Structures are given as structure tokens and as C-alpha cells.
Structure 1
């Protein structure tokens, strides 16, 4: 694909970054590192790997977990790939930690043999702070994609900040996925170069079409205290007072009754406490007329761009990165505050058929760009390339 000028008909991300950064003057070798095993991080890494492989002038190699749920998907890309032994549970983590020094040397050796210009970490791993310093000592550029700048309330926080400091100290620069995370990282590491871009829609397959919507609202994701399921319970109870036919489906792994006592007894609510396989997430999201995110705190949401790509508008509280991911009154509606009353009011607005149809069109348009992973990858490479100090290789 030729490098387009700014007024090209190519996507804005592709056109602007190709023109402004001029980074195709030499080949770029990227070793994408992801040792996580499951969930949104794995889908993000796989989508990013596909996108990087599609960028002209870029060579990609992979370092992944042998125990990862998507190991076969990574292997199917046909890229140079090292599947390293990590772990599949808490006992395996404790025993596997003894192997970390050897695995760190193995990653550094792979980077040298591949002649990698950068080791790009798709998502931090519990072993990242032990491995990243080895890359720095070996003179290998390490760039992490930082999804969070602090532990979410209620999530495990042991050694969290120590791990982050170690990663930042070893990094050549970092990629962040929201302004909220960028501000927090800059406060702790003001000299570290940062590049911000939106979180893409990590779809494991084509956008589902022809799926019948069965509920007005869907809450989907792992159940955590900060996600405000109790706030949604109270908001939906208020909504039913004025819209008695409204329906809500709640799907996710975790103790929903503990998070929001009484939620399952509310009229119009369907509760499904279960893990959802990656391939089933887009069809699930497509069954909703809108996605609802009642979070009290957020870096950004991984399911939100998936919803937009499926043409499903979003109702969200105005916290953290959610306020950046939702363009209010274009791709969804932002509540005036993170309160049951404000969330109920926004949900009531979404129940208007004309409003919902207009926002669905906006969501689909925005989601198409977020699902364009070659453009997402090109934007990321354009952002980090100035940090790498590359020169034209002879013969390339």
C-alpha cells in the first residue's frame, strides 16, 4: 500500500501517520511479547500481531505463552514464534518463577537473533518487571503498552506499583490507551516518552450481522467492585419506574450477588454468571440494543470498542477513559455523573428509538476505524519510531 498524502481517501489514521511521520524509509523489526494466557489481553495481542504483520516494511516475530488460550491462533499467523513455558495456575506461577532468569535470557536472545529494533510488550505480565531490565541491560529497546496506571479498586495490589516502576525504568518509551492513564504515568515518570492512541476493537472474527437484539441493555465483563454493578442495579430500578418494559442482561464471571445484592430479583433483569469464550463475545454484544458501563473508575474498557464495531451504542458513566471512548451523543451517551439517578436518566434517553438508531449509526462508523488493526498498528509504529533512533540498513 503506497504512503498516502493527508488528503488521501485512506483512513485518517493511516493517511496522517504515514505522511507526518515518514517512517517507511527503512524496515522495522518488531518482536511482540505477550506471556498472558486468556481474556481481553490475549485478544488484543493477537489483533495487534495481525495488524503489525499487515504493515508494509515491517517484520514481526512473537514471544508468547505456551499455555495461552490463543497459542494456536498466534501460530496460525505464520510468523516466527517462540512459545515459552509459563504457567497455568497459582502453583505453576510459584514454581515457574524460578525459570524467569532463563526465560529473560531466552527473550533477549530471540530479539538479538531476529535483529529486533524493539521488543513491544502487548500487555504487562506478572513476570515483566523481572524480564524487562534484562532487555535494557542488553541494549534492546523495550516499549510496553500500558493499559492501566494503578490497580483498580478491589483488585490485587501487592507489589503493583513496584512492578510498574521497574517496567518504566527499563522502557525506551510507552504506549498508553487513554489520557487518564497518560496523566498518571507522566506524574510518576515525567521524562519517559509516551504515545497515546485509542484502544482498538479486538474482534476474534468478522463483525456479526443479522443478530436479533433481545435486550435493551447489556452489562458484560468480569465482575469487579469498581465496575459499579450495584450502581446499575439501583439505576435500573429507577428506570423501570418510568419504563416498565425495559430489559437488562448481565453476563460475566464473578459473584454477582455479592457485587449487587438483589440484582437478579429485579423485574426485567437476566443474570448469567459465567465465563464467555472469546469467539462468543461479539455475538453476545450484538444481542443488545445498547451496552451499559456503570463503572466508578476506569482506565478504558475493552468491550466498549467491540460494541462500537458491532454498531451497538454505549451508555457509560463519565469516569476515566470511558469519557474518551464514548463520544457523547454521537456513539453513545455519557451520564452526567456516576450516580444511579444520572445513569437512569441516560438509559431512559437511550430507550428512545430515534436516538438509539442515530447513535447506532455513529457507533458503527467509529467502530470500523477501531477494528482496522493495520491502521491501528501503523499508528502505533509511527508513534514509537522516533524513540528508536533507527538508521537505514544497508541493502534495505
Structure 2
């Protein structure tokens, strides 16, 4: 049995997921050359990687690309096609030509995140049409499954839950390059990493820091990632020296160093589905503080990965930060749990085994 995976973005997720599945069955992966060529060495050698000249969705070259892609599918003769995201406009027009091959689509976000200007560039009908055309849908949590069932006319037997696999690439990079944590000299570093959009909760983190400025003089906040300008909240900030703001794309080695240096990773989101940052932090064995949105509580609490606080509540966020700062043993225990989870039940290998079993089930039911 062979699975063909397609995705135009989500590089870190795709590396973990495709590599995990490839350890359990033959996998062909088609991705854009412009985004993946420099990452090819990070895939498991078992992945049959095809770097495609995949146009941007506004390009007039898309019809020709779909023709070439359909030829590749006919040549490979997969038993199943899995789209690792539903946010590709043009693939909607190719799906009818791929039948009767079973089609599975992963829906990462059932609803758009507030202020997510990246995803809003895609017409709203495109991701919805892809879900409706797919015989089976994968989501990353039971809550998301309920949302899909409420929104789309799908049988519960056709909506499946697979966890977002841990992202080990940056931790492995740190090991390969023998990178080390910077000396903390008593400083406790809190990291907010990723695309800085409204829903990421930066405002609440800054308010929490203001609450803690007198009781935790050794606290240092790092905000790293492109997106909205964090300095709009400058009037809410305390001492500028307690902040390290990096409002830009973060290169791989810098990502690795940020997570090595972090004592606590915060995800104070006002809205979320699940989080790649959580899965990256776990691979470094870092404790997290998350808000009770989306699948974050259902992931963090049962696995002992960190603390959960209400969204939009700077006081509770500050209390959780202080608890972890003051309790080094608790931080270490939560971090150990996170690493065990990332290398065990949520490792790419184990998530890949569950995905391969799902593929066999889908094909067997056709």
C-alpha cells in the first residue's frame, strides 16, 4: 500500500508527519520546491520526496501545474491521497480527476484565527470546498472533530483525530551543531514564539509582566516572530531591558537557541485550534503555560506538559509565571514530562503509525 501526501506550506509539521508515516508504509510526498528544497535533508530517507514547481495561488501557471500533478498521481498509483492542509485553492479543481482514489484532508483550523492576515489571502470558499470534496477528514483533537461535524455534512466515521506530532528538527539541529544554553546568571527567560497576530495574546503577556515587575526582577521576556508590530504595546511595558523583541522571520539556528535558552514557553492565545509551538517546545523539554482555548488544555493537562490559565486574564497568567519561576523542581518535572511525550506517544514515529493504520482503514472501507 502506498500513500501520496500533498501540501504547499506547513514545513515543520510536514517533515514530522511525513517522516513518521514513512517508517510504517511507502510514502510519496509532493511539495513546492521554493519552500522545501533547503529542507530536503530533514526528511526520513524513506520519504519519496518530489520537489514540485508549485505556483503561488494567484499564478496563471496553476492549470498546467494541476495537469502535471495529475500525471504524477497516475504514475505513482497511490492507494490513497492525503492533503495535509485544506488551504490550497487550485487543488479543488483537480480532485475530480483523481477519483476513485480515496481522498483524506487535514483541517488544522476549522475557523480562521482573528487577525491572521496570512490565511485571509485565500478565498473563504476554497478550504470549505476541499473539505466537502474529501471522503475523510483529519483533525488534531476531539473538540475540532465536533466543530467539523457541526459545520460539514460528514459522518462521524469519516472524521478522524490524529495528534499533531512533535517537531524535533530544531532540537536535532542544536544537537548536531553542539549548541548550548547561554548562561542564565539568575535570569528566568519566558518565550513567546511564532507569528505575532492578535490572537497570540501578546497584550496579556505584557500586562502579566507589568504585574510581576516588582516581585520577579530576574524575569526576561522574549517575543520572536514576524507579524504585527509588538511595539504598539510599548506604553504597557515596564523596563525595556526586560524585553527582547525580534519582530521578523527567525532563522533555524536562532530558533534552536531561543528554545535552548527558554525556561518557560508561553502560549497566551485568545483563540487557537492546536499549536506547532507547543510541539516544538516539547521536543526541547520545556514547560509551557497555555490558555484554555482549542485543544491546548486537552493536550497539556493530561500529559503534564505545563499549566493552563483562562484566556484574556493577565492576572492568572502572571500567577502561573510566578509559580513556575519560583519552583525550579516543578519546571524540571513538567519539562521532563514534555520530552517524554515528544519522544514517546507523540513522537513522529508513533503518530505516523496511527496515520498508517488510519490509511489502511480508509482504503479497506472503500
Q: TM-score range by the shorter chain?
A: 0.7 to 0.9
C-alpha displacement of 1:75: 9.5
Is the aligned partner of 1:44 residue 2:5? no
Alignment partner, residue 108 of structure 2 = 147
Is the aligned partner of 1:353 residue 2:316? no
Q: Secondary structure at the match of 1:262?
A: helix
C-alpha displacement of 1:385: 2.7
Give the distance between the partners of 2:90 and 2:301, measured in 1 at CA: 34
Alignment partner, residue 363 of structure 1 = 338
Is the aligned partner of 1:320 residue 2:294? yes
- Residue in structure 2 matching 1:379, options 354, 358, 362: 354
- Residue in structure 2 matching 1:113, options 75, 95, 110: 75
Alignment partner, residue 162 of structure 1 = 125
C-alpha displacement of 1:122: 1.8
C-alpha displacement of 1:297: 0.3
CA offsets 1:148-185 (integer angstroms, 9 cap, x no match): 10111112436654122211121120111123322221
Give me the TM-score of the superposition, normalised by structure 2: 0.86
More displaced stretch, 68-77 vs 246-255: 68-77
Is the aligned partner of 1:203 residue 2:168? yes
Number of aligned residues: 351
- Residue in structure 2 matching 1:225, options 174, 178, 198: 198
User: Structure 1 residues 150 and 375, CA, compared in 2 at 3 Å: closer, same or farther?
Assistant: same
Q: Is the 8 A contact 2:170 2:252 kept in 1?
A: no
Give the distance between the partners of 1:104 and 1:294, measured in 2 at CA: 40
Is the aligned partner of 1:61 residue 2:28? yes
Alignment partner, residue 2 of structure 2 = 29
Q: Which runs of 5+ in 2 are unaligned?
A: none
Give me the TM-score of the superposition, normalised by structure 1: 0.80
RMSD across aligned C-alpha pairs, in angstroms? 2.6
Q: Is the 8 A contact 1:230 1:259 kept in 2?
A: no
C-alpha displacement of 1:238: 0.7
Give the distance between the partners of 1:328 and 1:315, measured in 2 at CA: 14
Q: Is the 8 A contact 1:150 1:160 kept in 2?
A: no
C-alpha displacement of 1:118: 0.9
Alignment of 1:332-343 (within 5 A): 332-343=306-317
